[in-house]
Amino acid sequence: MMKKTINWKMVIIQCGFWAGAILDLLSAIASLIYMLSPNETFINTMFGWPPISEMSYLIFITECALMFGWTALLIWGAQKPIQRRNVLLLTIVPVVSMIIIFNIIAMIQGNIYWSIARILPPALVSILIIIAYILACSIAKREKVSGEETTNA
C-alpha cells in the first residue's frame, strides 16, 4: 500500500518538472519565432507585439537563452526529482511568478491580447509545481535525502 502512495507522489513530482519544462520551452519557441521574424507573424498578431526592434532583439537573445537553459535545468531536475527538488522552488519564485505578474500587468494596462486565458496556464503550472515541491520535500524528509546532490552532478 505504501509503495502505491510513493508512486503516485512521484508521478505528481515528475509532472511538476515536466509541466514547467514544457511551459518554458513553449515560451522560448514563441520568443525565438518573434525574434527571428522581422515582420508581422502569427506570433506578433497573437500576442499583440509590434515588429521587432534592435533593442527588443537584444532582450530576446537573452530571454531565449535563459528559457532554453531553464527547460534543460527542469529536465535535468526530473532525472533525480527528490534530490533536485529545489529546482522546482527556483522555478516558481522568479520564473513562473514573473510570467503571471507581467501578464496581469499587461491585462490591466488594456492589452487586448492578454486575458485570463494567458494567465491561467502558468497559474495552473505554478500550483502543480508547488504541490510537487511539497511532495518531494515530504519524501526527502521521510527518506532523509539531502537537498544537495553529493554524487554525479
Residue-wise pLDDT for 10-26, tens only, equals 999 999 999 999 988 99
Nearest-CA neighbor of 30 among 131, 121, 123? 121
DSSP state of 81: T
Q: Could you tell me the mean pLDDT of each successive run of 10 residues in the chain, 153 residues long?
A: 69 95 89 75 69 77 90 96 94 79 78 68 89 94 66 45
Burial of 140 (0-12, 13-18, 19+ CB in 10 A): middle
Residue 123 φ then ψ, to 5°: -65, -45
Nearest-CA neighbor of 82 among 29, 5, 12? 12
Please give the grid coordinates belonging to residue 123.
497559474
Do residues 136 and 82 touch, judged by C-beta distance below 8 A? yes
Give me the pLDDT at residue 153, please: 44
